[in-house]
Amino acid sequence: MIYKHIDFALQRSYFSCVKTSLSYKKLLVMKTLSLVAALLMTCFTFAAPLPAGKPADINEKILKAFKESFTNAQEVTWHEYKDVYQASFRQDDVQMRAQYDEQGNLLKTIRYYDGSRLLPAIKTKLNKKYPGREIASVTETTEDSEIGFVINLKDENKWYIVKSDVYGRLELVNKFNRGDK
């Protein structure tokens, strides 16, 4: 009988230690997750752009350079990143982005449009190399006097990502099965 009480006491003591150990582990995991979440929120807060549409925070050099370059810009919103100020806007029915440094120098422009605005020489080469495929969209990037195009083509079953320069040198970057079919 005494052995049963000792055995019961040992089992109870063992399970309470295991239970305490598990509670401690849970507590440790929860604290770690809370710390990681707090750190991530802090990182995202500092990496986030300024609230959109705050030109008052953009210096006069940048605003002047932007207004001189993009006289017909509409729906302009500004974002500030590390050492880069970016305007997102529409001009001549084309969605655009322009990036400036603090001195007001234009660093890069990005234009998004459909295939009807693509240079005819590139369109001709695309139709020759990828017959039967439709130009779904174009992203045109200008940086350091270099102009590049990323063209999204599609056919009945696939998407094709093709890069081009202004001379129409084409490079198939990737192709995917269409998920919208």
Pair 43, 64 in one domain? no
Owning domain of residue 32: 1-48
CATH number, domain containing residue 152: 3.10.450.360
What is each CA distance from 175 to 115, 152, 154, in whole angstroms?
Answer: 18, 10, 9
Residue 66, pLDDT > 70, answer yes
Write down the pTM of the prediction: 0.67
Overall domain count for the chain:
2
Pair 171, 131 in one domain? yes
Q: Is 74 helix (H, G, I), strand (E, B) or coil?
A: strand
> What pLDDT is recorded for position 35?
39
Token pair for residue 162? 């093709």
Residue 125, pLDDT > 80, answer yes
User: Among all chains, which residue has been given the structure tokens 């139709």?
Assistant: 127
Pair 168, 118 in one domain? yes
User: Average pLDDT over the chain, rounded to whole?
Assistant: 80
Pair 144, 161 in one domain? yes
Residue 52, pLDDT > 60, answer no
Name the residue type at position 53.
Answer: G
- Mean per-residue pLDDT, 85-96: 96
Where is average pLDDT lowest: 3-7, 35-39, 163-167?
A: 35-39
> What pLDDT is recorded for position 177?
95
> 58: pLDDT confidence band, cut at 50, 70 and 90?
confident
Higher-pLDDT residue of 175, 9: 175
Pair 95, 164 in one domain? yes
Residues paired with residue 109 on neighbouring β-strands, in sequence order: 98, 142
pLDDT digits (tens, 9 = 90+) for 9-49: 445 544 454 455 545 555 454 544 443 344 344 434 344 44
Pair 76, 157 in one domain? yes
Residue 8, pLDDT > 50, answer no
Pair 90, 130 in one domain? yes
Pair 142, 93 in one domain? yes
Pair 143, 83 in one domain? yes
Pair 127, 89 in one domain? yes
Pair 68, 145 in one domain? yes
> What pLDDT is recorded for position 56?
55
Strands 134-143 and 158-165: unpaired
